[in-house]
Structure 1
Amino acid sequence: MASPSSTPRIVELAAQISSSVTELQERLSAQGIPSPSFAEDSPPDFPADLESLRDSVIDATAELNELLLDPLQLLYRFAAIPNMVGIDAISRYNIAGMVPHGGQISFAEISERTGMDKGLVRRLMRHAMSMRIFREPEPEMVAHTKISKYLSIPYINAWASFEGRDTWPAATRVMDAVEKWPGSEEPNQTAFSLANNTDKPVFEFIGAYPERMMRFGAGMKAVDHVPGHAPELISKDYDWASLGNASIVNVGGGRGQIAIELAQNFENVKLTVQDAAMMVEGAESDVPNQLKGRVEFMKHELFDTQTLEADAYFFRMVFRNWCDKYAIQILKAQIPALRPGAKILIQDACMPEHDSVPLWRERVQRSVDLMLKCYTNGRTRYLDEWKALLAAADERFKLHQVFLPENSLLSILEIHWVQV
C-alpha cells in the first residue's frame, strides 16, 4: 500500500490549478476562444468539451481559497438564501454539538435527537456538506470539518442561530422598509420592524424576549473573531500611552471588557464605563482586584448630557448603530463636559473606497453596512461622511488623525475639541 502523500494540501492544489489552467488556456487558444475575463464582450459560456476541465479548476480554486480563510469568514459567505436554511437548522438544533470531536454520528441518530425525519436530515446535512460544513466519511454518517467544529462552540452557534432566526427574516424586508419609509433615519422604521411587526427599536424589542436576548448576547462574542474586533487588540490599536495620566470615559462601554483591557496595559489611565442601568448593574464584580478604583461604572444613557469631565471620551462601535440625526445628538451631548484639548476617540469602521482594500474585506464591510440598515437605519461611514458628521455637530470637533491598524476592519478616529 502506498503511503499517504506528505505534500501539503495547499501545495497540491496550487500545482493542480497551475496545470489545469495552463491546459484550459491552451485548449481555448486552439479553438480561437478568448480567455475568460470580466469584460462585457467576454463569452458567457464555455464549450461543452471543456466543462469537465473547467469544473476541476473551479473546485480546486474554491478549496484553496476556503482553506486559507478562517471559519467565520466562510460562514459569512455561506450565510445566504438558501444556504441559511441548512445553517439555521444546524444552529437551531445544535447539530454541530451532537457530533463528537474526532468521531461521527449517523443521520438516523440526528433524526432521533432532533425529531426531524431522516429524509429531511439527509437533505439538510448533505446540503451543508456541499458548503464544507460537516463531511460524510462513510454513507449516512456525519463527521466534523473545521467549519462544523467551529459551529460547535456555543457562542458561535448562538451567533448562527441569531442570524438564522432573527437577521435572516429581517434582511428580506430591507427594500420593503425603504419603500414604506423613504429616507427614514428612525431606528424603529426598519426591515426588522416590518419582520417583527413592531414599532419599537430592535434592542428594546428583543429585550422583552429573554430567549432572543440571550441568543443575541451570546452571539455577540462571535464578533471578536472579525479581524481587528478582538478586545485584546485594543491596547495596540491606538497610542494610549500618549494620553499620559488620563481619565477616560468609555461611553456605551457595556460590562467594561474594553476598559479592563486598557487598565491592565496602561497603569496611568483611569476609566469610567458609562452605559444603561441594566448593563452596568453588578459589573464591578468583574473587575480584577488590582484594578479596583481605576475601572468604575456609572449609569448613563447614551443621549443624556455628559456630566463627567475627562481627558478623553471613547466610543467603541457605537456610532454605526445610529443615523446622522442621532449620531449628532450623541456628539452634542458631550459638549457641556468638554474642556479645551479633550479628545473624542471613536473606534468604528471607516468604509473603504471601492477596490482600495482586499476584496474579501470589502465584502465583509459592505455586508455589515447593509445589516446596520436592516436593524437600526445605521450605517458604516466613509471618511468624508465622518468629517461631515463632526462639522454638523459642532465646528469645534476637529478630526486630528485616523488610525487603521493592519489587518483590522476597525479604525480609530482621534478628534480634538478645539476652541475657535
Structure 2
Amino acid sequence: MAPINRIAQLSSLIAQQTTIIDDFFTHNNIPTPSLNPDALHSLHIPDSAAHIKAARDAVIEACSELKALLTGPKELLKFNWTAYVSVKAILRFKLDRSFAVGETTSFEGMSEYSGLNVKIIRRIVRHAILNHRFFEENVPGVITHSALTALLATNAAVRNSLVVELDEFWPAGVKMADAMEKWPNSEENNETGFTLANNSNKSMFSIFADEPERGDRFGRYFSGSNSAVDRLLEEYPWGEKASMVDVGGSHGSIAISIAERFPNLKCVVQDLPDTISEGASLLPAHLHDRVSFMAHDFFTPQPVIADVYYFRSIFHNWADKYCIKILQNLAPAMRPGARVIIHERILPGLEKLDSLDALRAINLDVGMQQLLNAQQREMHEWAELFGRADPRFRYLGAHQPHGAIRWIIEAEWQG
C-alpha cells in the first residue's frame, strides 16, 4: 500500500474548508478576513453557525500541521529566542500609541515620542513587522498601523491583556523549570516560576496584594471572561433550589444573574473583605433582599447552610492539597443532599488532544503550574479529589453545555 501523502491531504482539506467559510461570508455579507487597520477585530461567526466554526478550527489545525511538516523536525527544533522582545518593547514605550490610527509616522517620529534613538526604533519595529504583523512599512521609512497595532492603540482591554501576558506570565514560564528543579513536586504557590521571576518568596497573590497597580492590571485581565455564564443558568436546575453560596464570587456577577432569573432563590456571595465591600456597593437595589455579601476565607469552616455551594474558576488556582482543604471546610455547614458545583474547564482525554480547545486547555494547565503550582484537571481527577476530601461526598459527574468553555462538575453531600 502506498504511503499516505499527508501534505496533499492537508492541502485539500484547507482548500475545501476555506471555500465553505468564504461562501458563508459572501452569502451573509461578512467582510473577508483582513489585517488592514480597518479590518474587523474578530470574525463574525454566529453561534448558530456551528459548522462554520468547526470548519475554521479545521483549517487552523491543518495549517499548523502543514507548516510543521513542511518545516521539518530539525528546523522545528530551532527556538525563536527573540520572538516577543520587540512586542514587549513596543508596549513598554507605547509605540502603538505614538500616532493615530489612519495616520502615518516615521522612525524619527517614534524616536521623538519614546526617547529611543532612531536605530533602535527601526530594529524593533521591523522585527515586529516581520514576526508579528505589528505595523506596516509599505513605503521605506513610512510606518502605518496594521490591524493588530490599530486594535492595541484603541482598545485598552486588549492592550492590558497583552501587557499582563508579557510582563507577568512570560517571565514566570521562563523560570518554571528552575522552580521545578529547586522545589521538586511542590504544591506550594510560593515555590513557582512566578516566584523566581519576581525574586521573591511570596505567592503571586501576595505579590499582587503588595503592588496594587499590578494587582489591578491582573484583575482587569480576567474581568472580561467573568461576564459569560457558559449556559449555567439554562443547564442547571436552579429553580429547584432555595439557596446558594457563591464561594470566591468576587463582585457577585454570577449570583446576581441567578437571582434575576430565579426569584425564589437566595444567594450569598463570599470573598475577601475589600472585594465584598465593592460588590455590595454595586448590588442593584431590587436584589437587596435576596443577594447578600459576606467576607469569608474558604480555607476556614463554611458558616452558611445552603442547598448549593458554587465555585467558578477557583479550584484551578490551587494544588490538590489545598483543594481538598477547601472541600473539607464545607463539611460543617453541609446537610444531606446539599450540592457542590465546580464550574471550570476539564482537560480533554487523548481522543480529543488534537483540537484547538484541547490546546487552549493544556496551555492554561501549564500556565497554572508556572504561576501557582496549580492545575487544570482531567475528568477522573474530579472524582478522586472529592473522594480524598471526604467519603461523604458522592461524585455525580460533569457535563459541558453545548458551546460552553466550562464544565458543570457536581457532587452531593450524603452526611
In structure 1, the residue matched to 2:337 is: 341
- Conserved 8 A contact 1:238-1:403: no
TM, length-normalised to structure 2: 0.77
Instruction: Could you tell me which runs of 5 or more consecutive residues in structure 2 were left unpaired when the two chains were aligned.
Output: 9-14, 20-31, 44-56, 65-79
- Conserved 8 A contact 1:306-1:334: yes
- Conserved 8 A contact 1:311-1:343: yes
* Separation in structure 1 between the aligned mates of residue 295 and residue 169 of structure 2, nearest angstrom: 29
1:294 lines up with 2:290 in the alignment: yes
* Separation in structure 2 between the aligned mates of residue 172 and residue 360 of structure 1, nearest angstrom: 24
- Conserved 8 A contact 1:87-1:160: no
* Separation in structure 2 between the aligned mates of residue 397 and residue 65 of structure 1, nearest angstrom: 50
Say if 1:255 and 1:262 are closer, same or farther in 2 by CA, change over 3 A. same
- Conserved 8 A contact 2:231-2:404: no
* Separation in structure 2 between the aligned mates of residue 351 and residue 100 of structure 1, nearest angstrom: 42
In structure 1, the residue matched to 2:143 is: 142
TM-align CA RMSD: 3.2
* Separation in structure 2 between the aligned mates of residue 339 and residue 90 of structure 1, nearest angstrom: 56
* Separation in structure 2 between the aligned mates of residue 98 and residue 287 of structure 1, nearest angstrom: 40
Say if 1:401 and 1:217 are closer, same or farther in 2 by CA, change over 3 A. same
What is the CA distance between 1:383 and its match in structure 2? 0.6
Q: How does 1:325-404 map to 2 (within 5 A)?
A: 325-356=321-352, 359-404=355-400
* Separation in structure 1 between the aligned mates of residue 302 and residue 193 of structure 2, nearest angstrom: 32
Say if 1:128 and 1:406 are closer, same or farther in 2 by CA, change over 3 A. farther
Say if 1:396 and 1:89 are closer, same or farther in 2 by CA, change over 3 A. same
What is the CA distance between 1:160 and its match in structure 2? 1.3
In structure 2, the residue matched to 1:20 is: none
Residue identity opposite 2:323 in structure 1: A
Q: How does 1:20-419 map to 2 (within 5 A)?
A: 35=5, 70=42, 81-130=81-130, 131-152=132-153, 153-221=155-223, 224=225, 230-236=226-232, 238-356=234-352, 359-419=355-415
Q: In the TM superposition, what whole-angstrom CA distance separates every residue of 1:237-261 from its partner, at most 9, and x where no partner exists?
A: 6534444352111101112222223
* Separation in structure 2 between the aligned mates of residue 117 and residue 390 of structure 1, nearest angstrom: 59
Number of residue pairs matched? 356
- Conserved 8 A contact 2:353-2:359: no
- Conserved 8 A contact 1:313-1:345: yes
**Which stretch of structure 1 is more off in the superposition, 108-117 or 307-316?**
108-117
SS of aligned partner of 2:139:
coil
Q: In the TM superposition, what whole-angstrom CA distance separates every residue of 1:261-319 from its partner, at most 9, and x where no partner exists?
A: 32233323222110111221232121122222222210101201000001111101000
What is the CA distance between 1:124 and its match in structure 2? 2.2
* Separation in structure 2 between the aligned mates of residue 354 and residue 108 of structure 1, nearest angstrom: 53
* Separation in structure 2 between the aligned mates of residue 234 and residue 338 of structure 1, nearest angstrom: 26
Instruction: Could you tell me which runs of 5 or more consecutive residues in structure 1 were left unpaired when the two chains were aligned.
Output: 1-31, 39-56, 225-229
* Separation in structure 2 between the aligned mates of residue 281 and residue 170 of structure 1, nearest angstrom: 31
Say if 1:381 and 1:33 are closer, same or farther in 2 by CA, change over 3 A. closer
- Conserved 8 A contact 1:280-1:298: yes
Say if 1:142 and 1:181 are closer, same or farther in 2 by CA, change over 3 A. same
Q: In the TM superposition, what whole-angstrom CA distance separates every residue of 1:79-123 from its partner, at most 9, and x where no partner exists?
A: x85332122123323333444233333332222222222222222
Say if 1:293 and 1:166 are closer, same or farther in 2 by CA, change over 3 A. same
* Separation in structure 1 between the aligned mates of residue 184 and residue 33 of structure 2, nearest angstrom: 40
Say if 1:93 and 1:265 are closer, same or farther in 2 by CA, change over 3 A. farther
- Conserved 8 A contact 1:94-1:157: no
- Conserved 8 A contact 1:91-1:158: no
